[in-house]
Structure 1
Amino acid sequence: MAVANEAGPAASARWVVPLCWCAVLLDGFDLVVLGSVLPVLLDQHVWGLTPTTASLASTLGLLGMAIGALAIGTLTDVVGRRAALIFSVISFSLFTTVCAVAPSVLVFSLLRFLAGLGLGGCVPIAIALVTEYSKPGRNGGATTTVMTGYHAGAILTAVLGILVLPTLGWPWMFLLGGGPALVLVPLMIRYLPESRQFEAVDAENAGLRGGLSAVRGLFRDGFARPTLAFWVTSFMGLMLVYGLNTWLPEIMRVAGYPLGAALGLLLTLNLGAVLGLVVAGVVADRRRIGPVTIGWFAAAALFLSVLSIRLPEVGVYAAVFVAGCFVFSAQVLVYAYVGRLYPAANRATGLGWSAGVGRLGAICGPLLGGALLTAGVAYPWGFYAFAAVGVLGAIGIALVGGTDTERSA
């Protein structure tokens, strides 16, 4: 998609973070919207939905995200960050809106897949762009700042779920998720600048040759081991993020909490994520990002284990909040690490492939939660299972090895 930069020379770096933040906010809205509406869809037997068919809809959406991250992430190193991000926002917003009028679970699942194609590219592109406008070695704070938008979107979804679902019904959740693009896209067309580092890449890297070269570059010059380690870690990190955001309300309802309280815990989880991102960005820019990321995954595993214990109401909210601080920012630190390690010529490709392979974990997370719910053992064993995933994430990032200083041009 070729979109002319109408802002021309007047385009300023000050627009990069706000516009990328807004794009990621809409992505975050979609992260939680299915988990918010699933209890209603199941209770009302919409389309005859069951936990198994609900997992199908979630899986197809995440499969679309995996394909989108791999394809759009790679193309971003060919066509540019700006055009790719605008295309992603238009795509996922359109198909999210149409979900509101889906006539069957099959059509709904297909629309979730199509929306996922654009959603999959959004975060890698946004992170590549803000990394290239941040100071060398200080992309941790920039990345985590933009990713607070992800959880602001998740928080917004949880709040709207509490307010909208009992009154207007589930279709409005998708209408409200897609509508903001009508404002955001014109602003992006007018003000979003292209990456200066991307424009500096040699012309010989353009076209299909450039895309293939960017992928091959993930395994050259000492990058093979970090690339594979990042893939493993992203798999585990996104398994945690999507597994919890899809099924936490239902798991807590199984544990005896009413729907309102379960959605409140989902809101609390994502409020914790915002605080965790702010702290993680500051720490990652002052310390070596590798050990910080390992520590974040280990802490996530610890506090997820705590949720398996029956706590008083205040205690469970506190535990969910602290778990959110570490679960989500751990994966964002992986993205910051990737953005710091790869050069500009294949940075978006590295981010896209890490996110794309990670989306396979995002598929497995909801499948794991659905399987545990179907077996009737989601509480407390779901939290033990997700804690184990956190431990594996810590091991994965430890395998990156070498230096975690910025190697990019």
Structure 2
Amino acid sequence: MDTPTTLHSRSIPDIPADPAKEARTAGWVAAIAGLSLLFDGFDLTVYGTVLPGLAKGGSNALGWWATGINAGQPIPPAVAGQLGSYALIGVMIGSLFAGAIGDRIGRRKLIVAGIAWFSIGMFITAFAQSIAFFGVVRLLTGLGLGALLATAGATMAEFAPAGKRNFYNAVVYSGIPAGGVLAALLGLALLAHIGWRGLFMIGASPILFLLPMALAKLPESPRWLVSRGRLDEAVEISRRTGIPLSEHQQFGGVPVAEDLHLEQKTGFAGIFSGTYLAGTLFLGFMSFSGLLLTYGLNTWLPVIMGGHLQGAGMGADAAKQYGLVFLLLLNGGAVVGGLIASRVADKAGPQRVIITTFVLAALALTLMTFGFPVALLLAFIAVAGVGVLGTQVLIYGFTSNYYSTRVRAAGVAWCSGFGRLGGIFGPLIGGWLAAAGVAGETAFYVFAGVALFGGLMTVLVPRPRKGLSDDEQRAVDERARHVVTD
């Protein structure tokens, strides 16, 4: 029987497994990537937390173009929706840019640069005096956030132990809704004392502790180094971290696509090749649906529910506080539900679980339109959090493991970047509905329809067999044929 595993005419050594080192390294990577996305989620959710106050105007509000020009005036709903979308436009651009270069320059550089970029952006935003400047800096900050979103999942997929990939990806991407929880909690506790500018300063703090942690503890992916032909560096990092050099060392000695010299397209060319094309398109629409729901609800849920509760006879101040509680439950439900669902996904496969959570979201959002007591509404929004933000966590994990190493960053970037179109439309749709005076019930029906569309897109994704990417499965089949003929 042949003993393949060659790359560029050199053998990939079978370095002995070291589960203790591998688990320790995976833990550090998960902590750094997860904290990065926690502040990513904080940044993208804090706007919804401070929006009710900004929209009302006041002494700390923004002027239109400069200090003193219409300062203190309420922000119209349509303009508020546009401001909520600017950061997401930046995230989309940053994600796609990271995907274009991430499979060429590596994971570590992009994560370090993304942390520094968005921290500085949040710091500058805290000093904005006009709506125009606020919007521009929010867009620029989104570039760094997009680079992190596109890279964190690809990195974690290459460091996670076999059989726990969905769980580790869920831990990392649960940082996004956890950041939403943090934004809601700090909004409840501190907004009245430090204002929206103080909350944005908190969002800039990762440059003080997370950036040094990433520089010290985040290694480059040895599998990425192998895919780029940098075998000596990959061997050194593999021995130090316990991370296998290639997928075949986690799948019983089966060589992967890179080892068999199968199609070698990288980046976006690879994910739009015949091997991945259908899956790439449907994964993009899944992410579009999930992010439209995520950012539409994170931006407008406090406003929608505040108005709904006031219409039911609750006082304005109490309704505002309940609106933030709903935001807290939406994100908290996503963190808990996403982690539980990811453990199920490691056993049953992520595709079935994602279909289920999309349907749960549609059901919960529909039930929000009925005149149930507040306690039941709180429960429904927690379930919606599982089906909305929790689903997006699972989508990122599904995408990270759907592609092989040579195109993984581009695949996750496509999922994040194209999906960001949904994130852009979410706040805009909420703003349009609010400006048109449409009742909250209609908005919930619109969002429920989006959830059902996302479930349909999930059904249509070609399912990778045995939990491997398509190329890895092709390698397994090829190797099996060699074994039979030998």
| TM-score (norm. length: structure 2) | 0.78
**Residue 51 (structure 2) aligns with:** 38
SS at match of 2:309: coil
Aligned equivalents of 2:77 and 2:342: distance in 1? 37
Find the partner of 2:225 among 183, 199, 218. 199
1:177-216 equivalent positions in 2, closer than 5 A: 177-203=203-229, 213-216=266-269
RMSD: 1.9
**1:337 corresponding residue in structure 2:** 398
Equivalent of residue 294 in structure 1, options 355, 360, 377: 355
Residue in 1 aligned with 2:68? none
In structure 2, what is the equivalent of residue 53 of structure 1? 79
Report how far residue 54 of structure 1 moved: 1.4
Sort the Cα spacing of 1:381 and 1:132 in 2 relative to 1 into closer, same or farther, 3 A: same
CA–CA distance in structure 2, aligned partners of residues 101 and 323 of structure 1: 35
Q: 1:362 to 1:377 in 2, by over 3 A?
A: same
Please tell me whether the aligned partners of residues 329 and 382 of structure 2 are also in contact (alpha carbons under 8 angstroms). Answer: yes
1:124 matched to which residue of 2? 150
Which residue of 2 is the match for residue 79 of structure 1? 105
Deviations 1:42-69 (A, max 9, x none): 1125224221221221222111110001
One-letter code aligned to 1:39: P
Structure 1 segment 244-263 matched on structure 2, within 5 A: 244-257=297-310, 258-263=319-324
1:273 to 334, 341, 358: 334
Moved more, 168-177 or 9-18: 9-18
One-letter amino acid of the counterpart of residue 280, structure 1: A
Shift of 1:248: 0.4
For 1:25, the aligned partner's letter is L
Work out which of the two has the higher radius of gyration on C-alpha atoms and give 1 or 2. Answer: 2
Residue in structure 1 matched with residue 371 of structure 2 by the alignment: 310
Aligned residue identity for 2:395: V
Whether the aligned pair in 1 keeps the contact of 2:44 and 2:87 (CA below 8 Å) is no
Amino acid in the other structure paired with 1:23? S
Say yes or no: does 1:406 pair with 2:419: no
Q: CA deviation at 1:333?
A: 1.5
Give distance in 1, aligned partners of 2:391 and 2:53.
31
* Counterpart check, 1:238 vs 2:264: no
Which protein has the bigger helix share? 1
Percent identity of equivalent pairs: 36
Runs of 4+ in 1 over 4 A off after TM superposition: none
Deviations 1:271-315 (A, max 9, x none): 111111111111100102212211111111111111111211211
- 1:138 corresponds in structure 2 to 164
Per-residue CA deviations over 1:122-181 (Å, capped at 9, x if unaligned) read: 122111111111134531111111122222211111011111111221111100111232
CA contact (8 A) 1:137 1:406 kept: no
Deviation at 1:100, TM superposition (A): 1.0
- Compute the displacement of 1:399 (Å): 1.2
CA distance in 1, matches of 2:445, 2:359: 13
Q: Is the 8 A contact 1:369 1:378 kept in 2?
A: no
Aligned twin of 2:28: 15
Q: Which shows bigger deviation, 164-173 or 388-397?
A: 164-173
Give the number of equivalent residue pairs. 395
Match of 1:88 among 114, 130, 136: 114
Query: What is residue 68 of structure 1 aligned with on the other side?
Result: 94
Specify the SS of the correspondent of 1:222.
coil
Of the three residues 417, 428, 440, the one matched with 1:379 is 440
Task: Structure 2: state its 5+ residue gaps.
Answer: 1-20, 64-72, 231-263, 311-318, 473-486
Q: Tell me what 2:238 maps to.
A: none
Q: Distance in 2 between matches of 1:123 and 1:18?
A: 15
